[in-house]
């Protein structure tokens, strides 16, 4: 539409096993658009897993291809060339659910110059957390040290002071999902320790699916909309 404003960018990754289904985030943001003068972020729901639904552990590997490069380079470059987005990482969010949430935290920790906002909905504590032995062997060539270094809490801890200044991170979990509450608490605490502005939220009555995703996204965008310059109209 002529004269339409450039909009914030969100790249969203789903769970494992799963598929890049935009339905839930689309429904949530339709509601936000209705309250924000018809505006909402532009969202790409990207497939981090591939047809075989492998756990790529958020990493480039010989086994499963360049998953990290695909999200952080290829999808970003495509968005910049083809979508009417604000070309400023202050308005970009890396987001994900479950497996994708762990990868959102990882990519945000790895590339703070690219993402100034993180939204992890019921996120794993790190990529590959459900297949540690297999991921250590398949992705990291048997190196437990390399696997440890890939975890978002360790990436953040190793970064120079001030690396994450100005970043906003939201970590949600279902209130009836204790393992993922623990994961959210752990990663959120480290994000806060390195200087991010952090929000932790538990979705009332939710487990790991359904309401946990809808409620986590709703809380996340409630926090993010003013950060992204989308005030209620």
Supply the pLDDT for residue 16.
87
Beta-ladder partners of 124 = none
Q: What are the pLDDT digits (tens) for 194-226?
A: 999 999 999 999 999 999 999 999 999 999 999
Tokens of 89: 């990482």
> Does the predicted model carry a pTM greater than 0.85?
yes
Burial class of residue 35 (count of CB atoms within 10 Å of its CB; 0-12, 13-18, 19+) = middle
Q: Does domain 9-227 have CATH number 3.40.50.1820?
A: yes
The pLDDT value given to residue 1: 55
Q: pLDDT class for 2, splitting at 50, 70, 90? A: low
pLDDT of residue 232: 62
pLDDT, tens only, 27-72: 999 998 998 888 999 999 999 888 777 889 999 999 999 999 999 9
Q: How far apart are CA 13 and CA 128, in angstroms?
A: 15
| Residue 17: pLDDT band with limits 50, 70, 90 | confident
The Cα 109–Cα 199 span in angstroms is 16
User: What is the average pLDDT across 81-110?
Assistant: 97
Distance CA 217, CA 215 (A): 5
pLDDT at 19: 83
Residue 229 scores a pLDDT above 70:
yes
Average pLDDT over residues 90-118: 97
pLDDT at 112 over 80: yes
Question: pLDDT (tens digit, 9 = 90+) per residue, 115-159?
Answer: 999 999 999 999 888 889 999 999 999 999 999 999 999 999 999
Alpha-carbon distance 119 to 107, whole Å?
Answer: 11
Tokens of 72: 């952080």
User: Cβ neighbours of residue 146 under 8 Å, at least 6 residues apart?
Assistant: 140
pLDDT at 130 (0 to 100): 86
pLDDT over 90 percentage in the chain:
85
Structure tokens belonging to residue 208: 């790991």
The DSSP result for the chain, as a single string, is: -TTPPPB-EEEEE--SS-----HHHHHHHHHHHHHTTT---EEEEE-SSTTTT---TTSEETTTEEHHHIIIIIIHHHHHHHS-B-SSGGGEEEEEETHHHHHHHHHHHH-TTT-SEEEEES--SSTTTT-HHHHHHHTTTT-HHHHHHTSHHHHHHHSPTTTTTT-EEEEEEETT-HHHHHHHHHHHHHHHHTT-EEEEEEETT--SSTHHHHHHHHHHHHHHHHHTT----
């Amino acid at each position: 539409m002529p004269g339409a404003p450039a909009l914030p960018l969100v790249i969203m990754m789903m769970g494992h096993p799963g598929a890049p289904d935009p339905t839930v985030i689309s429904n949530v943001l339709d509601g936000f658009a209705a309250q924000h003068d018809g505006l909402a972020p532009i969202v790409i729901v990207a497939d981090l897993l591939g047809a075989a639904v492998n756990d790529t552990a958020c990493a480039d590997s010989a086994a499963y291809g360049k998953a990290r490069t695909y999200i952080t380079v290829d999808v970003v470059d495509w968005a910049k060339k083809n979508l009417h987005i604000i070309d400023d990482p202050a308005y970009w969010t890396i987001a994900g659910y479950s497996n994708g949430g762990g990868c959102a935290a990882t990519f945000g920790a790895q590339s703070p110059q690219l993402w100034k906002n993180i939204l992890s909905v019921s996120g794993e504590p790190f990529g590959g957390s459900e297949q540690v032995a297999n991921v250590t062997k398949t992705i990291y060539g048997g190196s437990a040290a390399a696997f440890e270094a890939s975890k978002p809490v360790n990436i953040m801890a190793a970064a120079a002071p001030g690396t994450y200044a100005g970043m906003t991170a939201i970590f949600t979990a279902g209130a009836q999902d204790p393992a993922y509450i623990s994961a959210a608490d752990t990663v959120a605490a480290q994000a806060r320790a390195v200087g991010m502005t952090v929000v932790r939220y538990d979705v009332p009555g939710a487990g790991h699916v359904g309401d946990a995703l809808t409620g986590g996204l709703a809380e996340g965008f409630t926090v993010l909309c003013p950060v992204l310059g989308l005030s209620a109209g």
